[in-house]
A and B are shown apart, each in its own frame.
Chain A
Amino acid sequence: MKLKVENVTVKIESKEILKDVTLEVESGEIVALLGPNGSGKSTLLRTIFGILKPVKGVVFFDGKRIEKIEEISKNVAYLPQESSDTNLTVLDVVLLGRTPHLSGFKLPKSYDLEISKKALEEVGMIEFAGRKFSELSGGEKQKVLLARVFAQQPKLMLLDEPTAHLDISAQIEIMEIVRRKVNSGCSALVAMHDINLASMFSDKIIMVKNGKVVYVGEAGEVLTEESIREVYGADVRIKKVGRSVYVIPKTRVKRNGKIVHVICGGGSGRDLIYLLSEEGYSISAGVLNVLDSDWEAIIDVGGEFVEEAPFSPISEEAHEKNLELIEKADVVVLSNLVVGKGNIRNLIAAKIAAELGKLIVVEKTRFELRNFFGKQAEKIYEEIVKRARVVGSEREALYEIRKVLG
């Protein structure tokens, strides 16, 4: 079923909770509704379902206006966020979903019983049919309530945070069940808190803030550091994983103004970069190959760096830039890197840092074991070690830096 909300404004006790909201949900689509607490997500769902009446604007179901809850509930199912506990059996709870389709004295028939049992099968809870609802776990309850929604045979589902308070596996399970239902010809508007889960399972994302729709679109385009800062007021980093997006909170560390340059590569500097960054040092790094895990780390912590194309040897130009960063840094650390033809220039850069008297060398494994360049590299390394402080781990490097920089 296609849902269209047009210029809807809702007031509760003269306060505007929704302001001129317009949105669409196409059939066969899961649309995630994202926004901070109190942004109006629940109010929007309740308004669409007809519990709240808008002061302005219209809601269309397949192009039609339906006002009465009794009528809406025949095609649209709404799952509220909170539910009371009851000693009704699981099957009786699911049977309640048949209410809109019952006539007269509302006595469910065997046909309704069949549909309810099928709904329980769809959520994988059929063997719980005779159990008391109150005795189930949070995830199981939520699945039963979803079965109640399915028993309603809806064409559109309005789900208010169906994964709230659930553990990670239950969250994924619930969303997969919703996805299956939508694939079998239904649409869903789902209010959610978990941005990652939303990007994983939705076709479209609508971001609301203070009762207004601020962003609409696919996860990849809508979920950006800027949009999340605007809507939630939170600083995050965004990583794309497949077609979904992964959001990680940025740690807020006070910078102390000191710069540490890390010469690394091949993942040898990763831990060092994070460790030093958490300590409040500004980090620079080089020369790194693009897509290397050290390269990802330096992007994560947001430092200056010199990069080289994947699997390419360090160019003269990159080497020069690296030396510039070394010049600027207060301390330079040479990580426990593997040396070969491609990155021999990093070793040369380290030697220059050592000559400047600001090098700390992390030696976790003996250099011979990680030298694939030959005698020449060994000589350079010997030179370096003479003029630098050598430590056995990242932690020790940190202590050493503290000593030097105070």
Chain B
Amino acid sequence: MKKLIASLTALNILVALLCLIVGSSGVFGVDVFLRVVSGVAKESDISIFFGVRLPRLILAMIVGASLSASGCAMQALFRNPLAEPYVLGVASGASVGAAIVYVLGIATMSNILISAFVFALLTSFTVYKLGSLARFRDQNYAILLAGIAIATTLSGLTSLLIYFSAQSMHKVVFWIMGSLSNPRWEEVYFSLPIAFFGILFLLLNSWNFNALLLGEEHAMAVGLNVENFRRYLIGTVSLLTASAVAVSGVIGFVGIIVPHTMRLMVGEDYRKLLPATILFSTIFMPLVDLASRISTAGEIPVGALTALLGGPFFLYLLWRR
């Protein structure tokens, strides 16, 4: 485990450096990089470095960590390996929020962010409420079903909104696909505190996740107040994913690919799995993002890339057994 943590940390540094020196505007040589870091570089180099690449790297790490840690947590709560952070309807809620802003013609960066964030939270709250009010023996199952129902309704609504958004149609669609282009420091300031405290909460509850793995009755049997824990957990995951989606759009499958890869390496014990997942996500997400911005002359949405990776990964999980 210590070895794994050390090598993941080393890889993190390596990937971070790679993302800072490689970009669509070209590769920084070592000399340029050193000059930028020491503050004596050309103005244009400095603005590319601090204005674009650094915030983009940080956002990628935040989004990756938020989605992966949330996915990992949801997989324990629902005791389902295919659970992901979006089961609470956050993605479809955020999409509606963003689309509305575009339709109204008030699409500034901060408007999109706030609208997506608020709609995402409202949606997951509704899903949770509907799920826990349902007369189901298994509350988790009810929440999952409510999530599917709400997400289906909202994606219909999103389609309508896209239809009515006329000229800005491609912008809405592009937003939904998920991308980290045009990074802003404001987005970092917004999402970093949420990510920090949210992920900290999940890490501190690693033991409780273990307790959930045998089933809720068993978790209660060892003294865990499952009802409360579920409430806090869903609240935290909603905040984490809502803020990730608000700054990046809908980037799928990260919440499944990353935790499962780590599960294969460290096993099911959440005291190891959760930290490993977070450390791997901050390698994985910037790397995929890097691929999305340098693979073509323009830029392809990173959400499309993760979805492309997601399919084969599922097949791998399917065939492994």
Query: Do these two chains interact?
Result: yes
A 29-62 contacts with B by CB, 8 A: 49, 51
Residues of A within 8 A of B223 (CB): 69-70, 72-74, 99-100
Candidates A81, A92, A102; contact of B269 at CB < 8 Å: A92
Q: How far is the CB of A76 from chain B (nearest CB, A)?
A: 9
Q: How far is the CB of A66 from chain B (nearest CB, A)?
A: 12
* Contact A69 to B207, CB < 8 A, known contacts A83-B215, A84-B79, A88-B269: no
User: Is B215 a contact of A70 with CB atoms below 8 Å?
Assistant: no
User: Is B213 a contact of A84 with CB atoms below 8 Å?
Assistant: yes
- Chain B contact residue count (CB 8 A cutoff): 23
Once bound together, how far apart are the Cα atoms of A74 and B221, in whole Å? 10
A89 within 8 A of B: yes
B191 within 8 A of A: no
A105 within 8 A of B: yes
B181 within 8 A of A: no
Among residues of B, the one whose C-beta sits closest to the C-beta of A101 is B223
Q: How far is the CB of A27 from chain B (nearest CB, A)?
A: 21
Once bound together, how far apart are the Cα atoms of A87 and B79, in whole Å? 11
Residues of B within 8 A of A78 (CB): 217, 220-221
A 94-125 contacts with B by CB, 8 A: 96-97, 99-100, 102, 105-108
Q: Indicate the member of B218, B224, B267 with the most A CB atoms within 10 Å.
A: B218
Once bound together, how far apart are the Cα atoms of A77 and B268, in whole Å? 24
Residues of A within 8 A of B214 (CB): 83-84, 86, 88, 93, 96, 145
* Contact A83 to B218, CB < 8 A, known contacts A88-B269, A89-B267, A102-B207: yes
Number of A-B contacts (CB under 8 A): 83
Among residues of B, the one whose C-beta sits closest to the C-beta of A87 is B268
B210 within 8 A of A: yes
* A-side interface size class: 35 or more
A152 within 8 A of B: yes
Once bound together, how far apart are the Cα atoms of A86 and B269, in whole Å? 10
Residues of A within 8 A of B211 (CB): 96, 99
Once bound together, how far apart are the Cα atoms of A13 and B218, in whole Å? 23
User: Is A69 a contact of B210 with CB atoms below 8 Å?
Assistant: no
Once bound together, how far apart are the Cα atoms of A353 and B223, in whole Å? 75
B 131-185 contacts with A by CB, 8 A: 135
B225 within 8 A of A: yes
Among residues of A, the one whose C-beta sits closest to the C-beta of B204 is A105
A79 within 8 A of B: yes
B222 within 8 A of A: yes
Among residues of B, the one whose C-beta sits closest to the C-beta of A104 is B204
Residues of A within 8 A of B (CB): 13, 49, 51, 68-70, 72-74, 77-84, 86-89, 92-93, 96-97, 99-100, 102, 105-108, 132, 145, 148, 152
Residues of B within 8 A of A (CB): 79, 135, 204, 207-208, 210-211, 213-215, 217-218, 220-225, 263, 267-269, 271
Question: What are 17 inter-chain pairs, A to B, with CB distance below 8 A?
Answer: A13-B135, A49-B220, A70-B225, A74-B223, A80-B215, A80-B217, A80-B218, A81-B217, A84-B79, A84-B218, A87-B263, A88-B269, A96-B211, A96-B222, A99-B223, A102-B207, A145-B218
